[in-house]
């Protein structure tokens, strides 16, 4: 005689089969994405163990000696640890504080523009920098700020000012790095907020107008509450990537004169894993050392993501999970 558990299990299986059959087109639609994630995201996680071994390509992953957390300990005890972490945190927090609110303000301003041709022209101008590649962007920055023939120094020279080496100056380098990124991304990041604002019921504005609300009051009491869930989700994701300074731009704008301020975890990993190894300065363990630092960076970002999500769920009713 079948037990209650067996009957319940059989019913669950039947219900699952019915749900799959009912939504079969959707499952087929997401199948390529699921295969992509499995093949290119989950399967390569097998290589994470490189971070805990003295990896030798000749011996393979399993043949390399297991050393546990030695590489993480060596990184934390190294001379460069505090400098690299300090630079990464400084640039990340600076980028977050400067770059997070601006797309919100930009979306609110664009939403208030009623002349469609003017609005679309502004949107096109503000979206365009996003499509400039990182290499081209860095080339433009270096060219414009060149002390010999850069347009910035040429312009300042008209007022009798001496040429300045902006990129070579560490403190100035951080401002250039952050604000060029804000300029490049603010238009594109505003799209999601504009999409959320498109869901506002026009009757809300009509009712507010009848009640005598001015434009700033409509923005505060109608627009902001509508996009608050979107702001929360984007905020959680941004905090989850708080120490994830991009490699390409930092590396392309870096030189020996500003390295004390521009060396971040991503560039340090690259130099330790590839540049130094190619020059024969370190052994094959450099790959393991770099993998351990990258894993350390990812785990810290994961912790920040979970913490931000928990705080958002505790404070409000919007969270990732």
CATH number at residue 104: 1.10.3720.10
Q: Indicate if 161 and 294 belong to the same structural domain.
A: yes
In a domain, 321, yes or no: no
Please check whether residue 242 is in contact with residue 96, taking contact to mean a CB–CB distance below 8 angstroms.
yes
Q: Which two tokens stand for residue 288?
A: 């393991």
pLDDT tens digit sequence for 274-309: 765 544 444 455 788 888 888 888 888 889 889 988
Q: How many domains does the chain have?
A: 2
Q: What is the pLDDT of residue 282?
A: 46
Please check whether residue 268 is in contact with residue 245, taking contact to mean a CB–CB distance below 8 angstroms.
no
Q: Indicate if 106 and 1 belong to the same structural domain.
A: no
Q: Indicate if 107 and 218 belong to the same structural domain.
A: yes
In a domain, 104, yes or no: yes
Please check whether residue 98 is in contact with residue 174, taking contact to mean a CB–CB distance below 8 angstroms.
no
Using CA atoms, how far apart are residues 294 and 312, in angstroms rounded to an integer? 27
Q: Indicate if 10 and 74 belong to the same structural domain.
A: no
Q: Indicate if 226 and 285 belong to the same structural domain.
A: yes
pLDDT tens digit sequence for 90-134: 999 999 999 999 999 999 999 888 888 998 999 899 999 999 999
Q: Indicate if 128 and 183 belong to the same structural domain.
A: yes
In a domain, 60, yes or no: no
Q: Indicate if 10 and 127 belong to the same structural domain.
A: no
Please check whether residue 147 is in contact with residue 165, taking contact to mean a CB–CB distance below 8 angstroms.
yes
Q: What residues form DSSP beta bridges with 53? A: 66
Q: Indicate if 301 and 268 belong to the same structural domain.
A: yes
The ranges of the chain with pLDDT < 70 are: 1-14, 275-285
Of 89, 110, 304, nearest to 189 (Cα)? 110
Q: Domain of 77?
A: 69-315
């Amino acid at each position: 005689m079948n037990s209650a558990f067996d009957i319940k299990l059989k019913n669950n299986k039947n219900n699952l089969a019915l749900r799959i059959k009912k939504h079969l087109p959707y499952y087929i639609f997401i199948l390529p994405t699921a295969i992509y994630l499995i093949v290119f995201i989950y399967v390569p996680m097998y290589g994470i163990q490189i971070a805990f071994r003295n990896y030798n390509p000749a011996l393979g992953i399993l043949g390399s000696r297991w050393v546990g957390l030695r590489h993480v300990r060596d990184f934390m005890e190294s001379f460069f640890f505090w400098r690299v972490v300090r630079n990464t945190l400084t640039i990340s927090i600076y980028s977050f504080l400067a770059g997070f609110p601006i797309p919100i303000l930009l979306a609110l301003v664009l939403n208030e523009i009623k002349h469609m041709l003017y609005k679309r022209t502004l949107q096109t101008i503000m979206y365009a920098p996003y499509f400039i590649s990182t290499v081209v962007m860095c080339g433009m920055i270096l060219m414009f700020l060149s002390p010999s023939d850069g347009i910035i120094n040429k312009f300042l020279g008209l007022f009798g000012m001496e040429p300045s080496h902006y990129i070579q100056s560490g403190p100035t380098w951080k401002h250039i790095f952050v604000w060029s990124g804000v300029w490049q991304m603010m238009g594109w990041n505003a799209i999601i907020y504009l999409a959320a604002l498109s869901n506002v019921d026009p009757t809300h504005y009509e009712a507010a107008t009848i009640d005598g609300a001015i434009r700033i009051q409509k923005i505060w009491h109608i627009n902001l509450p509508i996009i608050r869930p979107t702001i929360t989700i984007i905020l959680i994701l941004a905090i989850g990537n708080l120490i994830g300074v991009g490699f390409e731009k930092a590396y392309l704008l870096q030189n020996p004169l500003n390295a004390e301020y521009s060396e971040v975890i991503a560039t340090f990993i690259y130099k330790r894993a590839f540049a130094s190894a190619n020059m024969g300065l370190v052994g094959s363990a450099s790959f393991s050392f770099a993998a351990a630092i990258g894993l350390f960076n990812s785990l810290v970002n994961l912790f920040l993501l979970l913490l931000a999500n928990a705080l958002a769920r505790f404070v409000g009713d919007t969270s990732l999970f």
